Structure 1
Amino acid sequence: MALLLALTAAACGGGDRKTETDSPPVVAATKAPEFTSPTLQAIKRRGRLNCGVHEGLVGFAYTDNRGEWRGFDADFCRALAAAVLGDPNAVRFVPLTSSQRFDALRGGRIDVLWRATSWTLSRELSEGVRFAGVNYYDGQGFLVRRSLDLASAAELNGARICVQRATTSELNVADFFRARGIAYRAVVTANEEAARNAYAREDCDAFSADISALAAARTLLSNPEQHAILPDVISKEPLGPAVKRGDESWTSIVRWTLNALILAEELGVTAGNADALAEDSRDPQIRRLLGVEGDLGPTMGLSKEWAKNAIEATGNYGEIFNRNIGPDSSLDLARGLNAQWNARPGGLIYALPIR
């Protein structure tokens, strides 16, 4: 009996022993890969940023009467040059058509594409690019003559629609009319200028593009007040900078420069007060943004004052907007979706935390 009890106890106790398979797996510590960017290195060697822009779109990228590049997108190019090189003028603007832009990026002709380009899945899949963020939330609409007395794009049955080749605009128009069973005829042109000129000659009944581009086009027509943008918004067009796929660190640098300008507006940091705030502000967010605290810039291969340089070069996001396409410009576009998230009414502009 004693022997039987001993054997039973041994059998019961054996279940408490851990086997090798019961032990938690040992995870080897891994070091994060070094933050290095071949694109940034190439830019520093040549001493210049190559920035792809629209070949001529009022408010966004165009040359003034002195041949200087101006506009919303052009200012973001300058801010990026200031962030990476410390000089907003160390930028070469490369005008590109819609059909040239991705080839120029893949081929290394430009370092960044800042050209009213919509962020879509198919572009990331098939064009070999990565989008670094959104700097303008747009949508596609229709520009028509007021004499047509139209209230909606749904009334354009049988109309001729001017649209640019190789753009999301061309695809969106086809989707809009097909979904509603409305007949139309596409008048496809090589670029925005050709589409605008065709519309001005009355080769088409309506011009369809991003609403911001339509607003710009209307200012160039002989009698702008005779043309109206219909209320229909037929798509979502998140516009932002694109870079070549394969250099994640460069994508991050472009992304965080854009975010620095957005955050600067949120925190009240402007081109005019950045120096004073760097000296006097006790706000940790402002101190990190302006490089007073932390080493975020050097970690990216930039100076400690990379964001401050960008802000002082062009102003914060709101300053860039107001000067080029907002109330201080001929376009006079409302902030709308491009208002800060905490504004009243709020928009979609929301900076990622810099910390």
Structure 2
Amino acid sequence: MFLRLFKYLWPERYLPEPQQEDPFNEDPPPRAPGKVGVLLVNLGTPDTPSPKDIRKYLGEFLSDPRVIEIPRYLWKPILHGMVLRRRPKRLEPRYAGVWMQEGSPLMVYSRRQADGVRAALQAAGLDVVVELGMRYGNPSIPDAITKLRAQGCERILTVPLYPQYAASTTATVVDAVTRHVGRLRDQPEMRFIKRFHEEPAYLDALAGRIERFWLEHGKPQKLVMSFHGLPRYSIELGDPYYRDCMETARLLTQRLSLPRDQIEVTFQSRFGTARWLEPYTEPTLKALAASGTTEVDVVCPGFVADCLETLEEISLECRDAFIGAGGRQFRYIPAINDDPAWIAGLASLVERHLQGWTQTPRT
């Protein structure tokens, strides 16, 4: 603090020696235009499936006031006194069960998406730098932005990898990006993609994934579209997430040419005691089995990369619930992950939002 004061009062003692260019030169050389950067952002994951790393990740995630909308003075003792003491140990075998050789599924597929988008943009002749950041955990959003700036990016497009907008997902990415950029003296220009729940390339990739799965394995009696849940009060306060989910479900149903009675739209991952978006996924699956439905496929359109919520909660826990209630066949259809159609579609979405920032040399 005292050093800052001295620097302010006697700046001539602390000014660095001029390096390559005198900032007070009356006729400075032309400024380079700078590069364009793309920041892809997903939720995040523990670094390893150990309780220590899970606790660190959950501590950051569940401390976000947009994720847990409970007054801090009430939530903080619960988080540190109960949740972070018990939950990491319970989650350890669940994370370990889905962990891949390269790391967590969410990290593996998110990296492949970033690599694929980078390659697709370069193939289109665009000189664009692509980095991956995670809202919680590593690589952090500040680290990703620092990498983009170090490579000369003067313009940055942020792409939250959430098809449907919610304050607890997309908005908190915007919060984190602008909070970091707000600390910079020399700030880049910024753009954000808010949602892509109706994007044709996203819907086509989803429909193609499902149709190829059915071509190989046959169609079920029911297709369950399971979206991540939100507390109902979030929607009542104005969050558009529910509408986004229902629009995605409607458009995907049209692409699959399925009658409405073959589709069930549900919501998963309920946390706490508040009423969340309904119907809930697991109780719906049990009710379907009890009413005579013996074959279901489940797809999770809100996740563009497989993670604990799809590979463990849906593929294992919900499967056991359905079979235990009398069902015979339960299949989880994987997320679009690194599907070439999705990579091409994501790159196309990015390219469209970069208009005015880049020039494509193609004729």
Normalised by the length of structure 2, the TM-score is 0.23
Q: TM-score, normalised by structure 1?
A: 0.23
Structure with more of its chain in helix, by fraction: 2
Structure number with bigger Rg: 1
